[in-house]
Structure 1
Amino acid sequence: MHWQAKARAFTVLSAIPFGEGLHYALQRYVTRRLPRPEKQIRSIHTFAQQLLRTYSEYGIRPLQASTFFEFGAGRDLIIPLAFSAHGVKRFITVDIERLSKLDLIRSNAAIISKASGSDRPGIASWDDLDRFWNIEYRAPADARATGLPANSIDCAVSVETLEHIPKADIAAILKELRRILRPDGVALMQIDYGDHFKGFDPAISAFNFLTYSDEEWCPFQSRFQYVNRLRHSEYLQLFKEAGFEILSDRPDCRSPEPEIMARLAPQFRQFSERDLFTLGSLIVARPADQGKDAERTRANG
């Protein structure tokens, strides 16, 4: 399907009553993007293991004593399930809408339990998710105002969520994360900077949307496919303005594309080619002014 047709379909779904339910039905029974194939679930589980290794590198507490927080839970909770299977003490995951489906979670839990060798009990109810997997699912919930106590979270996680949130809301979320994270806590944020319509239309560049002004791009935005188009440097600045110290950023830099540069929208001409053609990054951050104390704690065991 051509990406513009896909965008129009999302716009229609966003405008009609019961659009969310219809969107899910299309994903489930027409495009069959859900439930995810086992190969994809195992791939996400492998990525979750990478995130856990990163946390072990920068965090202070062992997994068994750590509380994690995620925003943008989605439909099937693969990241929380994978973290739980590897022994985290508690995982709180929130979403602005109640999107998760118990049957998807149940089947994913069985796959992840097998892949991790954790032999966790099956999930027959929402209570089982908390009772057996130590996962607390909150939705609808606002990541800008979580209601969680200050300094109560060891690690904040998001995977390909921030790019779907407007800039002002990202600033508010990061401010809230700064509040709820412990002084020695860690934020792990994997962000996709590419044009998400590439997944529907292989004919376009992953940087196609950089050729559109905000006014030109607006008709292609919707509640089901909103992307903020922020570049890597802008995310780093948002973290710093919210009171974070960047411990590591791992940008996926690609070669500049002359055809994109030739049609680049004026608002993006201020960015370097490296910034423009960074496809994604894992940003690792800690509340600022706490780095020395955290390193001292880590050195003292």
Structure 2
Amino acid sequence: MHWKLKGLLQKTLGVLPAGETLHYRLQRHLGGMRNPRREIGLKIDDWEGMVKQLHGVGVRIPGARLMEIGSGWYPALPLACYLVGAARVHTLDLNRLLKPDLMRLCIAMLGEQLPRLASTCDVDLADVEARYARLREAANRSDDPGTISDGVIDYRAPADAAASGLPDGSIDIVFSNSVLEHVPPDAIARIHRATRNLVRPGGWVFHSVNCGDHYAYADPGIHQLNYLQFSDAQWAFWNNRFLYQNRLRAHQLVDGARDAGFDIVLDTSHARPQRLQQLQAMAIAEQFRHIAPEKLCITTVDFIGRNPGA
């Protein structure tokens, strides 16, 4: 689908009374969720990548208290954290998007990956299997993430991650996966300040951000730098409530966490030759021209910050 047609369709759905329901149905039949097994599999891959990067700086999930920003349609990452022994997982979303059928599919797919989960976190497979057995049995009676996870998962939606109501210092790890690119810049600043208080001294934040043009996933005729040719005024026409994109670059996202007081201990951002070539062939909007091409062209970043305390 041409990206402009997708943008106009989503813009229209965004103002209709039943727009959210219609948008979800279109996503399931024509859009990114028409193959939910693939999407859930990618999220499990993302969880494994997050865990390995956290392990690289000495952080473990078992026994930890976590908060996820942006729950989405199924709690793949919180469920995986529960299965490997997390003590508590709060997952917050501005909109109540969780779908019971997708959650049940997610549970079934996680059941196929138990040895992988145990190995990734270096925990006893028997313990993971025991938690999974309880999860699977409870999911036959309830669609509530807390009920089916021995009370470990706390799903809150609608909820604002910048005003969670959780006690200061009560969280070991705050994380997000493909969320911050969809959050307005001022809200990201509030989230960083709030999580600086939520995370205990010596605690951590992990954010994986896809900061490329998401319209490129629907339209093979464009690439992930396409939206950099538009001014803010022009881009406002194509932005919509179902696919809001703030267009922040990777270094700006990392700098935002640093400005909030986190020590950045991992930053995976790097310029790919293909993206540099694509950028050089484009007419860039004036507001982006002050950014060095090696920074402007980056479309993905994972970063970890540590709360140094007072």
The answer to whether the superposition gives a TM-score over 0.5 is: yes
Name the SS of the counterpart of 1:70 in structure 2: strand
2:180 and 2:209 in contact (8 A); partners too: yes
1:59 and 1:186 in contact (8 A); partners too: no
2:195 paired with 1:177: yes
Which deviates further from its counterpart, 5-14 or 245-254? 245-254
Partner in structure 2 of residue 22 of structure 1: 22
Give the unaligned 5+ runs of structure 2.
116-127
Partner in structure 1 of residue 114 of structure 2: 116
2:200 and 2:309 in contact (8 A); partners too: no
2:255 paired with 1:198: no
Give the unaligned 5+ runs of structure 1.
291-301
**Distance in 2 of aligned mates of 1:242 and 1:5:** 38
Which of 61, 67, 72 is residue 69 of structure 1 equivalent to? Answer: 67
**Distance in 2 of aligned mates of 1:261 and 1:267:** 17
Partner in structure 1 of residue 287 of structure 2: 267
**Distance in 1 of aligned mates of 2:79 and 2:215:** 28
Counterparts in 2 of 1:262 and 1:65: CA distance versus 1, 3 Å? closer
Measure how far apart 1:265 and its partner are: 0.3
1:80 and 1:93 in contact (8 A); partners too: yes
Which of 67, 80, 83 is residue 81 of structure 2 equivalent to? Answer: 83
1:42 and 1:115 in contact (8 A); partners too: no
**Distance in 2 of aligned mates of 1:192 and 1:5:** 22
**Distance in 1 of aligned mates of 2:158 and 2:145:** 19
**Distance in 1 of aligned mates of 2:15 and 2:31:** 23
- Aligned AA for 2:19? G
Q: After the TM superposition, which residues 1-40 of structure 1 pair with which residues of structure 2 at under 5 Å, given as runs?
A: 1-28=1-28, 30-31=29-30, 33-34=32-33, 36-40=35-39
**Distance in 2 of aligned mates of 1:98 and 1:81:** 17
2:36 and 2:102 in contact (8 A); partners too: no
- Aligned AA for 2:292? S
Counterparts in 2 of 1:222 and 1:258: CA distance versus 1, 3 Å? closer
**Distance in 2 of aligned mates of 1:108 and 1:158:** 18
2:262 and 2:305 in contact (8 A); partners too: yes
2:279 and 2:297 in contact (8 A); partners too: no
Which of 128, 140, 143 is residue 158 of structure 2 equivalent to? Answer: 140
2:267 and 2:302 in contact (8 A); partners too: yes
2:239 paired with 1:241: no
Measure how far apart 1:25 and its partner are: 1.6
Q: After the TM superposition, which residues 153-232 of structure 1 pair with which residues of structure 2 at under 5 Å, given as runs?
A: 153-232=171-250
**Distance in 2 of aligned mates of 1:78 and 1:128:** 11
Q: Alpha-carbon deviations, 1:171-224, whole Å to 9, x = none?
A: 001111111101111111000110000000011021000010111111100100
Q: After the TM superposition, which residues 92-111 of structure 1 pair with which residues of structure 2 at under 5 Å, given as runs?
A: 92-111=90-109
Name the SS of the counterpart of 2:161 in structure 1: coil
**Distance in 1 of aligned mates of 2:279 and 2:255:** 28
- Aligned AA for 1:10? Q
Counterparts in 2 of 1:79 and 1:128: CA distance versus 1, 3 Å? closer
**Distance in 2 of aligned mates of 1:178 and 1:216:** 34
Cα RMSD, aligned residues only:
1.9
**Distance in 1 of aligned mates of 2:187 and 2:145:** 32
Counterparts in 2 of 1:32 and 1:6: CA distance versus 1, 3 Å? closer
Which deviates further from its counterpart, 239-248 or 81-90? 81-90
**Distance in 2 of aligned mates of 1:261 and 1:270:** 17
**TM-score of the superposed pair, with normalisation by structure 2:** 0.87
